[in-house]
């Protein structure tokens, strides 16, 4: 074993950043391990942007022009995520790498992934988090006797993670593990049950290779869109031009439209239009196929934009994702499974640890089309702590897109701001468990809430902690009391 720590966070995406900051702020020694040489997960490795809206909607703001290039389906309601997310956005903005949420951005946050990479490292180092980059988790060890917990039996456990590295395999031991791999790798290795894809056929949302184009003439594009307003809706469209290109044999895309997001600087645009379906993001052969197919689609899309779409004549690909973006893989079966009705009916839970106002948003797993189902105006739903606690294993908390929920609910809570929020909660829960020498399941939700509120997280009125610690569980708050 090369290192021992209180909390080991595996995965440095939005959830991992939230988890590491949450655990460190709660007083734990934290190691964050990541397979890439940089942080950010999908936000940087797959160039996924912008940070989707974390505001409730109040009416739909009018786009200034038809081609606003920002999703305009959120109004100026209230932010339902703060805490670690607010810290990250503030830092990226101060470094000139993000535009704050406003009516102009549809309450999303466009950001520069290169700035986010730097900001994330700075924030974590300042918080005292030890980084372990270039480290791919390939397995877990059963509970190590030196780190055994008091007072809890049953279930299988995992206290050490094996990483494949340039220095050979290494093991990091931890009192509590936080699985922020997006794919639920750690909980899966430890034997947790999981679901994948939609119920009828197991198909997941498609993968997408995203890319950024530079020297895009936005005023020219906007003029075209204003003159052809039936052909563009906020961030997507060009149906007629696509049809013509298909008939000419130039395009063979599964997607029926082009989806574009404006960047931080004029002249830059982010293209979310490749689509690779019916392949699994947990299968190396499928992932290889997805990289090959999506890069072929990228070439077609770029040629189409340059040749047929006004404003793109002189544009070029300045950067593509270093890997294909994976929307959906394992959803770990937890103590509570968040359902579509919880989302649409804006349900609230006693053990809320994060909130979400983003709609159900499913890119069709088998073909064209996208299903969008919004929450009622001014509303959000709560995510309970139980969604982060896998059934049947101990010592592991999950966060981000692999938490417990249905295919439909996942399509809502998967967005990056909410992943950061569940990450922060998982980190806090792991830190409290480690400090008390108990399993995460034994930590009272009210204690997680109290620490999250202290850290500036936003849990809504319903979430004010109601309990004081009466269980003498040995957690940090018991000791304070």
Ligand X SMILES: Cc1cc2nc3c(=O)[nH]c(=O)nc-3n(C[C@H](O)[C@H](O)[C@H](O)COP(=O)(O)OP(=O)(O)OC[C@H]3O[C@@H](n4cnc5c(N)ncnc54)[C@H](O)[C@@H]3O)c2cc1C
In whole angstroms, the minimum distance from the beta carbon of 209 to ligand X comes to 8
**What minimum distance in Å lies between the beta carbon of 351 and ligand X?**
20
For position 458 contacting ligand X by CB under 6 A, the verdict is no
Please report whether residue 136 would count as binding ligand X according to CB under 6 A: yes
Q: Which is nearer to ligand X, 12 or 75 (CB)?
A: 12
Residue placing its CB nearer to ligand X in the complex, 419 or 449: 419
Neighbours of 460 (CB within 10 A): 13
DSSP secondary structure letters along 339-402: -HHHHHTT---TTEEEEE-PPEEEE-SSSS-EEEEPPPTT--EEEEGGGGSBTTEESEEE-GGG
For residue 39, the minimal CB distance to ligand X (Å) is 7
Q: How far is the CB of 249 from ligand X (least distance, A)?
A: 26
Instruction: Residue 333: count other Cβ atoms within 10 Å of its Cβ.
Output: 18
Bridge partners of 156, per DSSP, are 393
Rg of the chain over all Cα atoms, to the nearest angstrom: 22
Show the beta-strand stretches assigned E in 109-237.
130-132, 136-141, 156-157, 160-164, 170-179, 194-196, 211-214, 232-233, 236-237
30-33 and 3-10 beta bridge pairing: parallel
* Residue 382 touching ligand X (CB under 6 A): no
35 lies in the binding site for ligand X (CB under 6 A): yes
Q: Is residue 210 a contact point for ligand X (CB under 6 A)?
A: yes
Find the shortest distance in angstroms from Cβ 97 to ligand X: 16
Stretch that binds ligand X, among 334-342, 370-378, 408-416, 447-455 (CB under 6 A): 408-416
What is the nearest approach in angstroms of ligand X to the Cβ of residue 36? 5
By CB under 6 A, name the one of 4, 25, 34, 351 that touches ligand X: 34
Instruction: Check residue 281 for interaction with ligand X (CB under 6 A).
Output: no
Measured from the CB atom, the residue of 52 and 253 that comes closer to ligand X is: 52
* Nearer residue to ligand X within complex by CB, 228 or 282: 282
Query: Residues binding ligand X: what is the number (CB under 6 A)?
Result: 39
Count of C-beta atoms within a 10 Å radius of residue 64: 12
Cα 326 off chain centre by: 10
14 makes contact with ligand X (CB under 6 A): yes
Quick check: 137 binds ligand X (CB under 6 A)? Answer: yes
Closest listed residue to residue 120, CA positions, set 12, 7, 8: 12
Q: Report the residue number, 135 or 434, with the smaller CB distance to ligand X.
A: 135
Q: Does 15 bind ligand X (CB under 6 A)?
A: yes
Kindly tell me which residue out of 277, 411, 419, 442 binds ligand X, with binding defined by CB under 6 A: 419
Q: How far apart are CA 466 and CA 450, in angstroms?
A: 10
Strands, E assignment, 150-277? 156-157, 160-164, 170-179, 194-196, 211-214, 232-233, 236-237, 258-262, 269-271
Residue 334 interacts with ligand X (CB under 6 A): yes or no: no
3-state percent helix, strand, coil for the chain, nearest multiple of 5: 35, 20, 45
Please name which of 216, 333, 330, 207 lies closest in space to residue 275, comparing C-alpha atoms. Answer: 207
Residues within the interface to ligand X (CB under 6 A):
10-16, 33-36, 41-42, 45-46, 48-52, 136-137, 180-183, 185, 208, 210, 272, 325-327, 400-401, 414-416, 419
């Amino acid at each position: 074993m090369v290192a021992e720590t209180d909390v080991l966070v595996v995965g440095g995406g939005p959830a991992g950043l939230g988890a590491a900051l949450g655990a460190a702020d709660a007083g734990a020694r934290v190691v964050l391990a990541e397979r890439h040489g940089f942080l950010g997960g999908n936000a940087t490795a797959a160039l996924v942007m912008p940070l989707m809206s974390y505001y409730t909607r109040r009416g739909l703001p009018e786009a200034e022009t038809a081609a606003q290039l920002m999703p305009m389906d959120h109004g100026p309601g209230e932010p339902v995520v703060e805490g670690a997310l607010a810290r990250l956005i503030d830092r990226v903005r101060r470094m000139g790498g993000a535009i704050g949420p406003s009516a102009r951005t549809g309450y999303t946050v466009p950001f520069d992934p290169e700035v986010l990479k730097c900001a994330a490292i700075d924030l974590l180092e300042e918080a005292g988090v030890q980084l372990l980059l270039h480290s791919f988790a390939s397995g877990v060890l059963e509970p190590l006797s030196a780190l055994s917990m008091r007072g809890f039996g049953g279930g299988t456990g995992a206290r050490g993670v094996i990483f494949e590295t340039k220095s050979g395999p290494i093991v990091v031991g931890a009192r509590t593990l936080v699985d922020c791999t997006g794919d639920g790798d750690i909980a899966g290795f430890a034997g947790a049950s999981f679901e994948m894809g939609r119920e009828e056929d197991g198909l997941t949302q498609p993968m997408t290779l995203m890319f950024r184009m530079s020297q895009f003439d936005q005023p020219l594009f906007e003029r075209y869109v204003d003159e052809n307003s039936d052909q563009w809706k906020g961030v997507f469209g060009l149906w007629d031009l696509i049809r013509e290109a298909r008939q000419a044999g130039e395009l063979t895309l599964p997607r029926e439209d082009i989806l574009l997001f404006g960047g931080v600087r004029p002249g830059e645009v982010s293209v979310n239009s490749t689509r690779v379906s019916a392949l699994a993001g947990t299968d190396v052969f499928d992932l290889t196929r997805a990289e090959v197919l999506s890069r072929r689609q990228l070439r077609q899309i770029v040629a189409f934009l340059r040749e047929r779409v006004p404003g793109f004549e002189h544009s070029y690909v300045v950067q593509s994702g270093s890997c294909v973006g994976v929307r959906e893989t394992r959803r770990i079966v937890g103590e509570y499974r968040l359902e579509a009705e919880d989302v649409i009916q804006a349900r609230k839970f006693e053990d809320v640890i994060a909130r979400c106002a983003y709609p159900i948003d499913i890119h069709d797993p088998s073909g064209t089309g996208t299903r969008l189902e919004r929450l009622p105006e001014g509303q959000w739903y709560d995510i309970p702590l139980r969604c982060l606690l896998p059934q049947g294993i101990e010592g592991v908390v999950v966060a981000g897109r692999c938490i417990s929920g249905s295919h439909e609910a996942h399509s809502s809570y998967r967005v990056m701001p909410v992943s950061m929020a569940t990450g922060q909660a998982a980190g806090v829960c792991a830190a409290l468990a480690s400090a008390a020498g108990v399993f995460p399941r034994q930590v009272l939700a009210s204690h997680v809430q109290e620490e999250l509120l202290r850290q500036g997280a936003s849990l809504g009125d319903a979430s004010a902690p109601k309990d004081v610690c009466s269980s003498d569980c040995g957690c940090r708050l018991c000791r304070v009391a």
